[in-house]
Structure 1
Amino acid sequence: MEQPSKDPLHGKRLDTILEELVEYYNGFEKLGEQINIRCFTDNPSISSSLKFLRKTDWARAKVESLYLFVLREKKRNENQDKA
């Protein structure tokens, strides 16, 4: 039997990651403060950002890195709430 992947990005679609980040930061303005790229700061939308991120490896890597950070923060906050 195969072990399920421990990679939190495994099976995650880029559009889902982007939507979760936009929601977590309450919009593109705050997300653009975290990752200063034009697709988040200059007339942003999910579809235009996805087009850019799918073509630009360094930007996608930044988004994935921020997403992993957000997941850790959410988990940390959950653990603090339980304590």
Structure 2
Amino acid sequence: MQTENKQEQPNNPLHGVKLKDILEFLVEKYGWKEMSLQININCFKSNQTIKSSLNFLRKTPWAREKVEHLYLNSIKK
């Protein structure tokens, strides 16, 4: 089943990657402070938890796009 999904979206590097996994990767790599400098959103500055960030990002498409963009740039390096 997973192979079929990869074939459906072969050019989408985010396909099958959970937002929670993206956040955990970024927190591990940069930490909350650096993330808040790279992406200016309050959930990275105060109440710094994966849960609060997930809630915000799921409701805020522009912020989610910025987080996904940072993730993609981070895995390319």
What TM-score, normalized to structure 2? 0.85
| Structure 2: gaps spanning 5 or more residues | none
Instruction: Tell me the percent identity.
Output: 56
| Structure 1: gaps spanning 5 or more residues | 74-83
What TM-score, normalized to structure 1? 0.79
More helix by proportion, 1 or 2?
2
Structure with larger Rg: 1
Post-superposition CA distance 1:22-46 (Å, at most 9, x none): 1110x21111111110010112110
Say what the alpha-carbon RMSD is for the aligned residues: 1.6
> After the TM superposition, which segments of 4 or more aligned residues of structure 1 sit over 4 Å from their partners?
none
Matches within 5 A, 1:1-83: 3=7, 5-25=10-30, 27-73=31-77
Aligned residues: 72
Kindly state the Cα deviation for residue 50 of structure 1 after the two structures are TM-superposed: 0.2
